[in-house]
Amino acid sequence: MQNLETFLNKLKEQKNEEEIIDFCRKYLIHGTPYIFNNREDEYYEFRKKISNEFKIAFYEIYITGSAKLGFSPFKQKNFDYDSDIDVAIVSPQLYEQMLEPIYEYQMELRKARKSVSVQELNQYHSFLEYTAIGWIRPDKLPLSFEIRTLRQAWFDFFKSISYGKSEVGNYKVSAGVFKSYSHFEKYTISTLKQIINSQKIIPENASTN
């Protein structure tokens, strides 16, 4: 996919639900990301750094968003130095591992042994909304969340591979963890359908909800 205009024109050609799913898999999930164009070996090394840190398989790591496409269909802008590298880790093992301290935190809240502000509680509810669709986003955890391995250590690691400290280049790297490939794909397809709605593209027999 060369640019945003080509992407949107191609998207308009998709006639039904099956074609939308194929489009999503082909352009938003499959293949070498724009940021690593003609640098497949470096893409592997970047993924390997993350896989070694969390003891997961390298193929469970994907780059999404504008760093994948070279542009953002939502923001209507090309990938640039203000863009982040968005990493999706698709690992049932890591997802369940990260849920353990969440469980303990939730139990403390239930027993009223945790005191959090309204703002932090709202942030935590936002975190739980993502978790309910199979996506753990540590950036949504409130500051009162004291499990260092799930918050501070997470950000420390991704900071260590950001801004010229890894193969990805001079960009901030952010990440979240999906419960399964199915959850990742469904979320990505829903994102594509939001683009369809925003562009008023209505393929035949396709649900855009």
Note the pLDDT tens digit of each residue in 106-129. Answer: 888 877 666 778 888 888 899 999
Do the domain assignments include residue 204? no
Do the domain assignments include residue 14? yes
- The predicted model scores a pTM of 0.90
Q: Give mean pLDDT, residues 158-184.
A: 97
Closest residue by Cα to residue 169 from 16, 60, 37: 37
Phi, psi of 34 (to 5 degrees): -50, -45
* Structural tokens at position 15: 């006639």
Whether residue 202 has pLDDT greater than 60: no
Percent of the chain scoring above 70 in pLDDT? 91
**How many CB atoms are closer than 10 A to CB 7?**
19
* Contact by Cβ (8 Å): 178, 88: yes
Q: How far is it, in rounded angstroms, from Cα 49 to Cα 196?
A: 35
Do the domain assignments include residue 42? yes
Helix (H) or strand (E) holding 195: helix 181-198
Which residues constitute the domain of residue 16? Answer: 4-198
Name which residue leads in pLDDT, 172 or 208: 172
Query: Which pLDDT band holds residue 150 (cuts at 50, 70, 90)?
Result: confident
Q: Give mean pLDDT, residues 163-181.
A: 97
Number of domains in the chain: 1
Note the pLDDT tens digit of each residue in 31-78. Answer: 999 999 999 999 999 999 999 999 999 999 999 999 999 999 988 899
Do the domain assignments include residue 209? no
